[in-house]
Amino acid sequence: MMILDKDIKIFADGADINSIKSLVKNPIINGFTTNPTLMRSAGVIDYAEFASEVLKLVSPMPVSFEVFADEFDEMLVQSKKIASWGSNVFVKIPVTNSRGDLSTDLIKKLNSENIKLNITAIFTVEQARLVIDSISSEVPSVISVFAGRIADTGIDPMPIMHEIKQLMKNRSYLELLWASPREILNIVQAKQCGCDIITVPPAILSKLGSLGKDHNEFSLETVKMFYDDAVKSGYSIG
């Protein structure tokens, strides 16, 4: 496919085990991410059991599991436990807790202990700057910027992503991730911004067959779909 090359990695985002089983066989998938909201939506009850099952399926590909505590001392305990699950595990740390307190001290500590991190829910350049400055040890870490949600506010996320990418210059151990995509176009945009990774949920992955499709062909397919559905429905006018 046109842009699905080594310039950007696609991580499947979700928590449905059957979907993960299917996607792990897909050659375009380079890793997996999840979060407590996706896990709850998928009906996950036992976090550790779920993680164990996921790791059996996806290893050695990278996978991110998120802490769910709100106090930083509890996050620290959870982070160490999650990191112990495998060398391919990245611990997702929110950029702040639910009170808006920055997670930078926790990030510094975990980074100094050689724990791979995925710093999530970043929306601003300043948040990204503070996080990047907190990572001094050259341990692989991911900077997850919620570009899709930024776009939901009516703001173009691309200049923000470009600026954050510049902050990461000469730090090869850091990867920029475009999170919360809304459409296939976001994969193209993420690549143009120099993002290393984009997370893509199954609903968008299912549209990859349209990537690079001839627009005249797509137009004809659409017209045929409308016509076929009208015929099948037996519609008449007058």
CB neighbours of 52 closer than 8 A, spacing ≥ 6? 85
Active site residue 165: no
pLDDT in the model for residue 5: 56
94 assigned to some structural domain:
yes
- Average per-residue pLDDT for the chain: 95
The pLDDT tens digits of the residues spanning 104-132 come to 999 999 999 999 999 999 999 999 999 99
pLDDT in the model for residue 2: 45
Percentage of residues in the chain having pLDDT higher than 70: 97
pLDDT in the model for residue 7: 83
Q: Looking at the chain, list the stretches that DSSP marks H as alpha helix, in order from N- to C-terminal side.
A: 17-23, 36-41, 47-58, 72-83, 104-112, 125-134, 147-152, 158-167, 185-192, 202-205, 215-233
63 assigned to some structural domain:
yes
Domain CATH number, residue 130: 3.20.20.70
pLDDT in the model for residue 1: 43
Domain enclosing residue 94, as ranges: 9-233
Percentage of residues in the chain having pLDDT higher than 90: 92
Residue 4 pLDDT > 80, yes or no? no
pLDDT in the model for residue 37: 96
Distance between CA 190 and CA 213 in Å, rounded?
19
122 assigned to some structural domain:
yes
With cut-offs at 50, 70 and 90, classify the pLDDT of residue 210: confident
Structural domains counted in the chain: 1
Residue 234 pLDDT > 90, yes or no? yes
pLDDT in the model for residue 15: 97
220 assigned to some structural domain:
yes
3 assigned to some structural domain:
no
1 assigned to some structural domain:
no
CB neighbours of 160 closer than 8 A, spacing ≥ 6? 124, 125, 145, 147, 150
Distance between CA 68 and CA 65 in Å, rounded?
10
238 assigned to some structural domain:
no
The pLDDT tens digits of the residues spanning 58-111 come to 999 999 999 999 999 999 999 999 999 999 999 999 999 999 999 999 999 999
pLDDT in the model for residue 223: 97
pLDDT in the model for residue 6: 65
197 assigned to some structural domain:
yes
The pLDDT tens digits of the residues spanning 163-206 come to 999 999 999 999 999 999 999 999 999 999 999 999 999 889 88
pLDDT in the model for residue 235: 95
Distance between CA 163 and CA 224 in Å, rounded?
44
The values of phi and psi at residue 100, to 5°, are 90, 10
Residue of 56, 81, 92, 213 marked catalytic: 92
pLDDT in the model for residue 222: 96
